Amino acid sequence: MVFEFSLKTSRSNEFINITGKVKEAIMKSGIDDGICVVFVPHTTAGVTVNENADPDVVKDMLMELSKIVPEDKEYRHFEGNSSAHIKASLMGNSQTFIVENGELKVGIWQGIYFTEFDGPRNRKFFVKVM
């Protein structure tokens, strides 16, 4: 079974903590020990893992990503959103996690983030637990 979650982003560039949704999928799966895959089916959004305690970490990441991949370069892509495509690939579109004793096995300071780079939009992501 694949769990599908919908979310509505509210900014052009934004990190949304989805750790709780991933934990919900693990719980509903009933699987105690295995692997959990989080997959984002978009080309201008991704998923990454980073600090969940200080929100300034996410702000700093967004600030530096916008410097590494500026929006106003001479890109060829007709849609005009090449920076969003590039940032999405830098983050990646899936993450794999360990499930142990029915729990998501991550570090205490780690959060799972859906990373929006071409919002605001209606988005979704999939979670598969095996």
Give me the residues that bind Zn ion (CB under 5 A), please. Answer: 79, 81
Of 9 and 81, nearer to Zn ion (C-beta) is: 81
- When CB distances to Zn ion are compared, the closest residue is 79
Strand pairing report for 110-116 and 45-51: antiparallel
CB of 116 to Zn ion, least distance (A): 14
- The neighbour count for residue 128, using CB atoms within 10 Å, is 16
Count of CA atoms in the C-beta half-sphere (13 A) of 117? 31
Residue type, 29: S
CB of 81 to Zn ion, least distance (A): 4
Of 20 and 70, nearer to Zn ion (C-beta) is: 70
Of 121 and 128, nearer to Zn ion (C-beta) is: 121
Of 75 and 126, nearer to Zn ion (C-beta) is: 75
Nearest C-alpha neighbor of 51 from the set 43, 60, 41, 63: 60
CB of 93 to Zn ion, least distance (A): 15
- Angle at CA of residue 26, ends 122 and 48, nearest 5°: 50
